[in-house]
Structure 1
């Protein structure tokens, strides 16, 4: 089996998170929202709208990950909360409204420039590599295809098709099993301290935090390997 090294430990496999690690999720949300809201004549106070959207997204997506509501239901909950004064009680109406946003969001999907080269370098070392992401399997696979990352032939393991979502160790262990590698030799690279790095540690894996914009304070990540670009992995 091929091996590499990371901070003095042997590496036999690599898992990458998808959103805000390989794909610019936050950027796509911001760009998509701006186009969508402007199309409805709601481009006043756009920064406030964007931050409120992210707050609602985080809250209701966590509910979906906990199994409290379905993927479609979390979308409906978000749009109803975003437009509290509108009559969106009918599911078909709510789906139609958020569908306008989703079209703009998908059109704004893009991979970070360092994403493809990072995957290619790991594959060139002969190491098994996969994408481990929270979310709907079909939606995340579509995102990988539309951003061109599917050209690398990397399998996608999304939480809707896993025993649990990150940071549950079962998500990491399932991906490692599918890749045919022992978790102790795998490095997980992701942008979430809780979901990716701490989750990986609980699963017996090494975690690398990619913090592109300085989201975390130094005291929050003491003892954590933090990088600003996937090029900093050194592989």
Structure 2
């Protein structure tokens, strides 16, 4: 019998993708650069590359931010000095933080999970400080159960150990827990390897489309869990 749900945060509960787009639209013109689909794609690429190093605990969170800028700024032709990197990133961060919002389908889904008597928790690869701030800004603080991050667990998704440890923290066997998240590689495959059920929340309909446990909105989550 299903007893618990591990929810991803970014692009599952919080519209991280939309917040990044809005932040770039605010921040890049301050640097004298137009925000375009090309600059957005470049930002996404360097972010993912260096977040891998953070997830693997090879660099600090602050250093992965600096590395992103070292790759990004030369490609948009913005000169910089090493001492400029943290202040430059602060400009982006202010815009990003001002754009945090929960998705419109989150309230209904949380209500349905609560009505079903399911324990919920958030498993995310971000820092404790930033992810707690997102929950507070989006009106989700105290509504989603405990927050587990790589800093708490000592291991990040996609390691199956992240899921096993999170289940241990909430006192449930993995077989009684489902993982729900937007990343098939981070939230679905490793969760199944850890013994959980997993649902891919594919909000942007990017696939893989042959995934049998796939939703494009949280609205259908309670019904999917009952199957």
Give me the TM-score of the superposition, normalised by structure 2.
0.92
Aligned ranges 1:167-182 → 2 under 5 Å: 167-182=158-173
Matches of 1:217 and 1:126 in 2, distance apart?
A: 31
Residue 69 in structure 1 maps to residue 59 in structure 2 = yes
Contact persistence 1:209–1:226 (CA under 8 A): yes
CA displacement at 1:161 relative to structure 2: 1.6
Contact persistence 2:5–2:118 (CA under 8 A): yes
Structure 1: runs of 5+ lacking an equivalent = 1-9
CA displacement at 1:158 relative to structure 2: 1.1
Residue 215 in structure 1 maps to residue 209 in structure 2 = no
Deviations 1:6-28 (A, max 9, x none): xxxx2111111000111110110
Deviations 1:154-199 (A, max 9, x none): 2111112213101212111111111111111101000111110001
Contact persistence 1:120–1:152 (CA under 8 A): no
CA displacement at 1:39 relative to structure 2: 2.5
Contact persistence 2:7–2:121 (CA under 8 A): yes
Q: Aligned to 2:80, which of 69, 84, 87?
A: 87
Contact persistence 2:163–2:194 (CA under 8 A): yes
Matches of 1:128 and 1:159 in 2, distance apart?
A: 21
Task: Give the corresponding residue for 2:183.
Answer: 192
Deviations 1:96-145 (A, max 9, x none): 00000000000011000111221222122222110111111111111111
Task: Give the corresponding residue for 1:121.
Answer: 112
Aligned pair count reads 220
Task: Give the corresponding residue for 1:104.
Answer: 95
Partner SS state of residue 82, structure 2:
coil
Structure 2 CA distance for partners of 1:228 and 1:153, relative to 1, 3 Å: closer
Task: Give the corresponding residue for 1:4.
Answer: none
Partner SS state of residue 100, structure 1:
helix
Contact persistence 2:112–2:222 (CA under 8 A): no
Matches of 2:206 and 2:179 in 1, distance apart?
A: 19
Task: Give the corresponding residue for 1:230.
Answer: 218
Task: Give the corresponding residue for 1:130.
Answer: 121
Give me the TM-score of the superposition, normalised by structure 1.
0.89
Matches of 2:97 and 2:200 in 1, distance apart?
A: 26
CA displacement at 1:151 relative to structure 2: 4.2
CA displacement at 1:152 relative to structure 2: 1.2
Task: Give the corresponding residue for 1:145.
Answer: 136
